[in-house]
Structure formats: structure tokens, C-alpha cells
Amino acid sequence: MATAVVIGGGVSGLASALYIQRSLPQFSKVILLEGSSQVGGWVNTTTYPDGAIFEHGPRSLRPVGEAGRNTLLLAEELGLTKHVLPIFPSDPAAKNRYLFVDGKLCALPTNAWSMFKKLPPFTKPLITSLWKEPFHRRSNEQDESIYSFVSRRLGPEFADIAIDALCRGIFAGDCRKLSVQACFPPLYEMEKKYGSLIAGAVFGFKDPKVEATGLVRRAIEDKWASWSLSRGLQQLTDAMAASIQNTKEGEIRLDTKVTSLKRNQNGKIIVSTPSDSIEASLVISAVYSKGKTKTALLIL
């Protein structure tokens, strides 16, 4: 009997366990070990008695790109279609964006005209960064930080204020340490292919046409900006956990922190926790990696 162990019950660990269950039938047991008392990791919703929802992590997901489409497809497969809340580009939630700078809320430009105005916290109109962008040379570096990429192309002020905040919002990470190639592949490709972000946006960096059905089709046709779930995004991770546990092979152990991994003489991996140890043929670790800004996905 081959056992697979997934360490970490965040969205990466849950997705890995689901993948093993669905696509690797050689594993007759899939055990997910989560160190805390609940699954979901950063995806964590608090619902208050008056019905208000507070998202501790991400609050909406974008339906674009392969990963975006796959997540929507997954929500559909997990039976969440009726709970999906589309957010359209014209909705206030998609249109109105604010930055909190020096104790003040500053509205970001909402239309093309506002790019020509000097809007605090920026010291000059955003158009002044944009018009110069196509004239900056492309980099010869294989990769660089998001901060370095954006300050090279759009100026340090835009990188310091807008991109720093964006990366804290999306990745809960530091744009000076995150890789542009890993985090924003379309931007990286636009520069490589067209030498400019503006040229890339104008001349065709579009999502490839995909055969779509169901929710993905609705998202494309109705031009969703992003989507969420009626009871918060934790509904997605809870449904993933329920789907794993609904099969005889799947098991989730909470409050079970993995303390060590060792390979034995038979080539199997011994996964130890404070209470026992498991002999596994496959181990996927989806826990936070100390000293790195990204979660490590390690496959043994």
C-alpha cells in the first residue's frame, strides 16, 4: 500500500492532496498533516454575528490566466457555483482603490483622465511615468526583483508607493525581494518580447483563447474583474478539505506539526510528528520556508 503525505494544509497543500487523489491512483492513502487547528493557511475568513465578513488573507481571486481559470473550475467541481460572487470592472469594489499613505487614504486613478492630474501621494501625474516607459531599454538580466523592474520602467516613486502596496496586498511580501519573473510572468514576457509594457499591452499580450464552459465561460463573457464566495474565500479551502476527506483514501490530521523527514533503507520517507511517524512513498511539503518570502513546494 503506497502512502503519500502532504505537509501543510494551506491552499497549496490542499491542492496537492486533491491532485494526488485524482491523478495518482498508485497512492492508496493520502494523509495531509497540518500544524495548526484549521486548514486554509492564509486563506482564513472570520464571519461576525451581523453577517459581516473579514478576510485575513486574500479577499478575491482573478479569473485570468491558467491558474485563475483552474481555480474557478475547481470551485465549480466542488459544488460552489451558487456561492460564487462575480465582481465586475464597473463595481465599486473593482473601481475604487485606495492607498493609506502618511496617515491619509489616497484614491488611485479610476479613469484615463485622472492619469493627467497630480493625485496624492504621487508628486506628479502618472502619465509622466507612462509616456517615458516605451523608451527605456530592456534588461539583460535573467531575473530581477519586482521593485527593480518597475522602478526601471516606471520610475522609483511608482515602485515605492504603488507596487510596494500591491505586493503586500497580493503576496504579503516585499517587492524588493520577490522575483518579477515568478510573480508577474506577463510583465516579464512583455518586456522580453516587445521591449515595453505599453507596447505589450497594445500589441497583443492577451490571454490565449480557451475552450471554456460553465463558470470560466461566464467569467470570460461577462468580463469579471475578480470573484469571491458568499461566505468568504475560506469556503473554497473548507470545500477542498471536505472533498479530500470524503474519500476512503483521504485523511487530514490537524494540530499535527511535522518535525522531521528522513529516508530509510528501503528508500521510503519517514515523516515524524510529535505523536507518531508515517512511512511514505511520496512527500509534498507545502509549508512556509524560513528565510524565503515564498512558500516552498518540495517534492520527495
Ligand X SMILES: Cc1cc2nc3c(=O)[nH]c(=O)nc-3n(C[C@H](O)[C@H](O)[C@H](O)COP(=O)(O)OP(=O)(O)OC[C@H]3O[C@@H](n4cnc5c(N)ncnc54)[C@H](O)[C@@H]3O)c2cc1C
Residue ranges binding ligand X (CB under 6 A): 7-13, 33-36, 41-43, 57-58, 169-172, 257-258, 286-288, 295
Q: CB-wise, 123 or 275, nearer to ligand X?
A: 275
User: What b/e readout covers 255-278, taking b as 16+ CB neighbours within 10 angstroms?
Assistant: ebebeebeeeeeebbebebeeeeb
Query: Smallest distance, Å, CB 5 to ligand X?
Result: 10
CA distance 21 to 212: 24
Q: CB-wise, 61 or 150, nearer to ligand X?
A: 61
First CA to last CA across the chain, in angstroms? 18
Q: CB-wise, 216 or 286, nearer to ligand X?
A: 286
Q: Is the dihedral of CA 61, 66, 67, 73 positive or negative?
A: positive
Q: CB-wise, 43 or 154, nearer to ligand X?
A: 43
For residue 61, give the nearest of 92, 85, 91, 42 by alpha carbon: 85
Query: Smallest distance, Å, CB 235 to ligand X?
Result: 14
Query: Smallest distance, Å, CB 67 to ligand X?
Result: 8
Query: Smallest distance, Å, CB 15 to ligand X?
Result: 8
> Which residue type is seen at 289?
S
Q: CB-wise, 34 or 238, nearer to ligand X?
A: 34
Query: Smallest distance, Å, CB 172 to ligand X?
Result: 4
CA distance 82 to 99: 33
